[in-house]
Structure 1
């Protein structure tokens, strides 16, 4: 006897560099008891992970399957930066036997989750913008292992979340100190990208940069930096977080002018969640609105943080429901 009804549920997966989370969904509702995490190092590829999940769930027969990948997706093929796996629609069909399959960039999945994240999992950072129209553009910005953003459009044909790889654009420079930071981080790849600062490893580079400037070179992990910010036991960690928050504000403000998200800006990702409680006092809001004569215009955009580990899975389920309806 199977655990689930045949050809009724959807399989959704969020593929990270280290782990893959997989679950079943009934429409846009995740089935919490089915959420499973698999270590990528133990599997040869995505197909074997999904086959294991299908087996673990009683050989479930899914009507649809959608995966979110941490990397660019083009023509139905996902490419991951830190994982050498083939991620394409044929792989999904073979592994899940689903009739409908889709591959999304992880930020696209986050965009498709908007509107389905419980209010208690949303923290408001800048909340004095005018009430938006129902179809206003929204923007998700991911700050975690890497950096990316995706605009969310509501169209007559349904929701469209446009893919991007803006974490690899040039880091903005406002002053001599930020120029020095750019020169410091560009030694890693020969190019000062946004992601080289606004990410977990970026936080670590900022800490090392400040120590290098002071002639007191010490390294610290991103988790330890944020722990010190919480405890208030390391002035350099506090300075690191302040510089990080201001650059995040500048970049988020730039992206807002590019996309005009009158429906709000939403920060997602582990680093975003860690620094959100401190953004107000660290100068994020001032940096976000520091756009010269357009400073007043920036008040049109609210900023919130999503603290939901399963948002990408929910987004995959939402996208599948739209394409199958």
Structure 2
């Protein structure tokens, strides 16, 4: 389909492995335009965007927004798990757009809240009360990496604060956690949250569990998840339980930091993969294990977002708000 000049916007979600690109109108993704690119096949984002624009008939976009899985500062994004550096000048040059924006990927997810279909929100924990309109929300991403972003409603519009909390220290709750920390430190020098709560983090947990059992074995995350599903490897199930408990612990810690009475929303391929086992493997217990504040934790609902295009939607919504100003 051909679009008249300056009638659509371009949005991109740049992960550690793949980049998704789409066109949007009035803050909504045009699903037929979504394309996925393998990052390893391109030298940088500009090459991806030029190929995409050509495939869409050299579409002339009014604005463009990219969500990057890494810290964004002064219009420059440095990818955490990819050797790309992205800036607004490059984004403008590649898309020939009059207005551009660059967000952290979790910021984009935050802008998507309230604009996703209800079927995409899978409730894991139900809060005891009903949140007031405009209550703070929290997005937690668990995929190639780990990060989170609080979502605040202000008189001047929505504010989604960036962070890099996945690189904070892994919390220690048990003797086993302490041994896991040392196992990760020996290989990587530092045991951060992302070093355990991510796709490759699950692989490390499995390696540690097998080491504890007497013989270290290494398996890919996808293989571990398959074994959890078909129940053919007790070590995979043990690793899954540790992963989910620690995920609950970290999510609960972040809830206490940000007080998201409007809900906690987990997103990302790993979060979705573990969704069927969160309750069984102890996520709720880990989330609420806060001593005398355990009862207080019942104020927070937790959801998994089952929408692969949520970051694209967030970029589209953010662009629409910018173009109104």
TM range (shorter): over 0.9
Corresponding residue of 1:132: 131
Displacement of 1:38: 2.0
Displacement of 1:81: 2.2
Corresponding residue of 2:111: 112
Corresponding residue of 1:282: 281
Distance 1:197 1:145 in 2: 11
CA, structure 1 residues 248+5, in 2 after alignment: closer, same or farther (shift >3 Å)?
same
Corresponding residue of 1:156: 155
Distance 1:175 1:142 in 2: 24
Corresponding residue of 2:240: 241
Post-superposition Cα deviations, 1:198-227, rounded to whole Å, max 9, x if no partner, equal 011111111111111111222111111111
Displacement of 1:130: 1.1
Displacement of 1:82: 3.0
Counterparts of residues 90-239 of structure 1 (less than 5 Å): 90-239=89-238
Corresponding residue of 1:271: 270
Distance 1:22 1:253 in 2: 33
Corresponding residue of 1:293: 292
SS of the equivalent of 1:288 reads: helix
CA, structure 1 residues 222+30, in 2 after alignment: closer, same or farther (shift >3 Å)?
same
Displacement of 1:297: 0.5
Post-superposition Cα deviations, 1:270-302, rounded to whole Å, max 9, x if no partner, equal 110011111101111011011111111100000
Corresponding residue of 1:79: 78
Displacement of 1:189: 2.2
Post-superposition Cα deviations, 1:257-282, rounded to whole Å, max 9, x if no partner, equal 00000000001011100111111011
Displacement of 1:190: 0.9
2:42 paired with 1:43:
yes
User: TM-score when scaled to structure 1?
Assistant: 0.97
Post-superposition Cα deviations, 1:47-76, rounded to whole Å, max 9, x if no partner, equal 121122111111111111000111100011
2:68 paired with 1:69:
yes
Unaligned runs of 5+ in 1: none
Distance 2:248 2:35 in 1: 35
Distance 2:43 2:237 in 1: 42
SS of the equivalent of 1:195 reads: coil
Displacement of 1:24: 0.2
Displacement of 1:20: 1.4
Displacement of 1:83: 2.6
Distance 1:252 1:234 in 2: 27
Unaligned runs of 5+ in 2: none
Q: RMSD over aligned Cα, in angstroms? A: 1.1
Corresponding residue of 1:307: 306
Distance 1:37 1:232 in 2: 32
Post-superposition Cα deviations, 1:225-273, rounded to whole Å, max 9, x if no partner, equal 1111111121111111111111111100000000000000001011100
Distance 1:106 1:130 in 2: 30
Post-superposition Cα deviations, 1:58-115, rounded to whole Å, max 9, x if no partner, equal 1111111000111100011110123333311111111111111000111111111111
